[in-house]
Amino acid sequence: MDGKRDKEPDTDCERITAVLLKSRTGEFDLESILFLKLRGLGTHDLGCIGECMNLERLDLSGNSISNLAPLASLRYLAVLNLSSNKISSLEPLRSCENIQNLNVAGNLISSAESLHCLQSVKKLENIRLKDNTYNYTNPVCRCASYRTVVLEMFPNIKVLDGERVVGRGSDLYQLCKDIDDTIKAGLYKNGQLVEHSDCKPWVEDSYWEIKRSNNAIIEEAYKQFNDVLHECRLLNNRATHVISQTERSMSLKKQPKQYAI
Distance CA 117, CA 104 (A): 14
CATH code assigned to 1-162: 3.80.10.10
Instruction: Work out whether strand 126-128 and strand 188-189 pair parallel, antiparallel, or are unpaired.
Output: unpaired
3-state secondary structure of 204: coil
Confidence at residue 3, expressed as pLDDT on a 0 to 100 scale: 43
Q: Where are the alpha helices (DSSP H) in the chain?
A: 18-25, 146-153, 170-186, 216-254
Of the candidates 55, 22, 21, which has an alpha carbon nearest to the alpha carbon of residue 41? 21
Confidence at residue 215, expressed as pLDDT on a 0 to 100 scale: 55
Confidence at residue 63, expressed as pLDDT on a 0 to 100 scale: 97
Cα maximum dimension of the chain = 93
Confidence at residue 2, expressed as pLDDT on a 0 to 100 scale: 44
- DSSP category for residue 85: S
Confidence at residue 216, expressed as pLDDT on a 0 to 100 scale: 56
3-state secondary structure of 26: coil
Q: What averages of pLDDT result for each successive group of 10 residues across the chain (261 residues)?
A: 46 87 92 94 96 96 97 96 97 96 97 94 95 93 91 90 70 60 61 57 60 56 71 77 78 63 51
Of the candidates 43, 52, 104, 100, which has an alpha carbon nearest to the alpha carbon of residue 74? 52
Domain ranges (residues) in the chain? 1-162, 168-256
Whole-prediction pTM: 0.65
Segments of the chain assigned E as strands:
35-37, 57-59, 79-81, 101-103, 126-128, 159-160, 163-164, 188-189, 192-193
Distance CA 128, CA 109 (A): 12
